[in-house]
Structure 1
């Protein structure tokens, strides 16, 4: 059977004054733990990691491992502009018991492929016996990862896969053709669980599934059944949810507020949904919520 992991990218909750809402974040973790999804992606883009300091990182990783660890895999994102900073976060997370990690390529300044390899070599060495996903997101990081570079990164002893965001299915297929068998590819495109699988991916890292996991689970089950009508129906539901919530953390948090899970907002400069958007969020919650 084709592997179709659903790994939930989890938002971080903040108070209106910008301070960390630790209890609200714990509530989100508890909610996600009940989703039935295979894993959690903590403190990635959806978690607003660029706005998190080391003390907050420690608080959130501890809470995630506590609330999610018994229910699903927990992949802790440690990517930073420099290997020095990323390694520091690896050490914090390892002390708390984390064993699975992801790291965005170094970002902001232009780097060579050799510099990217050196960065991941240092992060890999710090992780030791744990596992590491390369996080490829050139539209945010400014750093391209060629199939040849990803193949080179796959030679590092604990690099087991890559999370790929905002690249085409053709680019995903090019990665698949280049990397070794057994190397895991996750797409960051919420709606492409099935399509990305056909291009060689083993699953999706989905922020939208942190709010409404049901349509994603239904799509995976439909794809496993091979029933075209069931797949089409399930894909339509996923497309509807993604069109309303998308990769928009402010909308995700509006949904949490509506569901009574957490009252938090975003810390980063994201636009709050207006009344019409709230109405659409309420619609999909009613249609697809449990």
Structure 2
């Protein structure tokens, strides 16, 4: 069974404020669909639209509802280094690990600065494993990621690996090759799940594991038993899932709303993400059924 970690949404009430009571059922839903853990307060969770207090409250709620053996990784990155350190320190005793992407407004231009930034955050929670969140499409940070890893292994004592969210299998493979036994390179491009299996991936973080975890589990099972053509066909369904939802607006907003429509009460998305009506989701569901994707949607507990 693949080690799928869901990048979680922030449950909201209709007025846009946090709905922390929804975390309990959200956790049951994910574990029911054999998800192994959560990546909280990341891009999927709209961390840029949340206050520091809201990010803290979300982590606390996930911790309070954590089942045995369930992993919580908390994203603590921020354009303000002191606030990132504050979020890291708050994660102690609540998260199993922390992660941070690089500041994205005034971009970091070299590995010296990135090491300094990551080390400062990791030192704020020295007992927690630290993962660098590599997502250049959003952070706009273009650095030699392998060179960064080599330095991080020696300069950041609790460096645990990467969340590698880049459509670059060659770079991902280089990172795997340069990792040690106690480090983990988590792959984060859902549309490239099958190719990542062939590259040696053994852990994944993704937003669509919220909706179609059974599909990725079927892909992994087919790949494992050598049914490569079937695995490729199933991977195409995962790609089409994203394409179908993107046609209706911002993917994260549409995808979150689909879960709410299906019975997982996550509420609306914050601006500028898309919020659709029930009639539109009925149309989306008909498309998912016609393309054979609907049977792979997650099941409610």
Q: Same fold (TM over 0.5)?
A: yes
Task: Quote how far apart the aligned CAs of 1:181 are.
Answer: 5.1
| TM-score (ref. length: structure 1) | 0.88
Segments of 5+ residues of structure 2 without an aligned counterpart are none
3-state SS, counterpart of residue 151 of structure 2: helix
Q: Cα–Cα, structure 1 residues 167 and 153, in superposed 2: closer, same or farther, change >3 Å?
A: farther
3-state SS, counterpart of residue 162 of structure 1: strand
Q: Is the 8 A contact 1:106 1:116 kept in 2?
A: no
Q: Alignment partner for residue 35 of structure 2, among 18, 37, 52?
A: 37
Q: How many residues align?
A: 287
Deviates more, 1:86-95 or 1:240-249: 240-249
Q: Is the 8 A contact 1:4 1:193 kept in 2?
A: no
Output aligned runs, 1:1-290, within 5 Å. 4-70=2-68, 72-95=70-93, 97-111=94-108, 112-146=110-144, 147-155=146-154, 156-180=156-180, 182-245=182-245, 248-262=251-265, 264-273=267-276, 279-281=283-285, 283-284=287-288, 286-289=294-297, 290=299
| TM-score (ref. length: structure 2) | 0.85
Deviates more, 1:227-236 or 1:270-279: 270-279
Segments of 5+ residues of structure 1 without an aligned counterpart are none
Deviates more, 1:29-38 or 1:213-222: 29-38
Task: Quote how far apart the aligned CAs of 1:225 are.
Answer: 1.9
Deviates more, 1:23-32 or 1:54-63: 23-32
Superposed CA offset, 1:44-94 (max 9, x none):
100001111222122211211222342521111111113311110012121
Task: Quote how far apart the aligned CAs of 1:9 are.
Answer: 0.7
Deviates more, 1:236-245 or 1:82-91: 236-245
CA RMSD of aligned residues (A): 2.5
